[in-house]
Amino acid sequence: MKPSTQAQSVARTKSKLRKPRTKCPHGLANNGINCSQCGGTGVCEHGRKRYFCIPCKGAGICEHNQRRNSCQLCGGSQICPHGRRRTACKECGGSMYCEHGKQRNQCKACGGCGVCEHGRVRSTCVPCGGSQICEHGRVRSTCAPCGGSRICEHGRMRSYCLDCGGSQMCEHDRIRGQCRECGGSQICKHGKIHGRCRECGGSQICEHNARRDKCRVCNPNVTCHGEACQIYDNAERRLAVIDGLCITC
């Protein structure tokens, strides 16, 4: 008998002896080996899959207490050349990104499941009571009273804190995206911030050709603090206050 024929015969014999894979009453495969409710052998005392359990030192956990296949330090199989999870990498065409270049579950055009009826991400939507909204009506991670994880010891957003050397601050001590010298992404061809540029029709400019948040027509309750507004005249680079009101108000 030829080696290939012999190997095929052995494979057929093993397939006949192998027990058929069935699901447990809770819908998990392999007879519920990983089902905590069925008491499967693949479930540890912590109620997790034993293979990926850190306290049990499962075989799927590396020396850095991360899943071995998704650990950047170990060069896991799920880590792409850009140092990200392969499925979550836009450059690699990860499956989590749609044709519009957005995360699939947060894309309005694709009708992502993470988008609520108000057109926002469901978990950060205040009217929907998103899971990431705290009792103060803010995103929990960016809420100072709640001690959010993105708040530094100075009470600021960590990435925008000069004292902490935030990643969003450039060498000129400005927000990187709003720095002209750095060619920030928020700077338009007129040298202004896109949203505040009248020539570009910025989103922060109202129909009265003024900044929306400082327009007395759009916001009758807006108050000007005169010199405290710290609005500078672009021509003379000095504080301009006319009749007690700054040049914007």
Q: How far apart are CA 140 and CA 146, in angstroms?
A: 7
- DSSP code per residue over 103-118: BGGG-TTTT-TTB-TT
pLDDT of residue 241: 43
- pLDDT level of residue 176 (50, 70, 90 thresholds): very high
**Residue 190 CB partners (closer than 8 Å, separation 6+):** 197, 199, 200
Q: Residue 44 has what pLDDT?
A: 87
Identify which has the larger pLDDT, 112 or 211.
Answer: 112
Nearest residue to 60 via CA among 45, 42, 33: 42
pLDDT category at 187 given cuts 50, 70, 90 is very high
Domain ranges of the chain: 97-151
Q: Is 130 helix (H, G, I), strand (E, B) or coil?
A: coil
Mean pLDDT over each residue of the chain, to the nearest integer: 81
